[in-house]
Structure 1
Amino acid sequence: MVSMVTAETRRDASPLSVADAERLAEIMQALASPARLRILSMLSARPSTVTELSEQLQIGQTTVSNHLRLLRHLSLVTGSRAGRHIHYSLFDDHVTELLDEAIGHLEHLPRGG
Structure 2
Amino acid sequence: MPTPYAAHHERISALFRALSAPTRLAIVELLVAHHQLHVHEIVEATGAPQTLTSQHLRVLRHARLVDRIPAGRSVVYRLADPQIAAILAAAVQFFGDPG
Report TM bin, short chain: 0.7 to 0.9
Residue among 24, 44, 52 paired with 2:12? 24
- SS of alignment partner, residue 32 of structure 1: coil
Q: Which residue of 2 aligns with 1:36?
A: 24
Higher radius of gyration, 1 or 2: 1
Shift of 1:16: 6.6
Structure 1 residues 107 and 16: alpha-carbon distance in aligned structure 2, compared to 1, 3 A threshold: farther
Q: Which has the higher strand share?
A: 2
AA matched with 1:33: A
State the match for 1:102 in structure 2: 91
SS in 1 for 2:70: strand
State TM-score, norm by structure 2.
Answer: 0.87
Query: When the two structures are aligned, how many residues end up with a matched partner?
Result: 94
Taking the TM superposition and a 5 Å limit, the aligned residue runs for 1:36-55 are 36-46=24-34, 47-55=36-44
1:90 paired to 2:76: no
**Per chain length, whose mean CA-contact separation is higher, i.e. which structure has more relative contact order (CA < 8 Å, sep 6+)?**
2
Identical pairs, percent = 35
Unaligned 5+ segments in structure 1 are 1-14, 109-113
What SS class does the counterpart of residue 37 from structure 2 fall into? Answer: coil
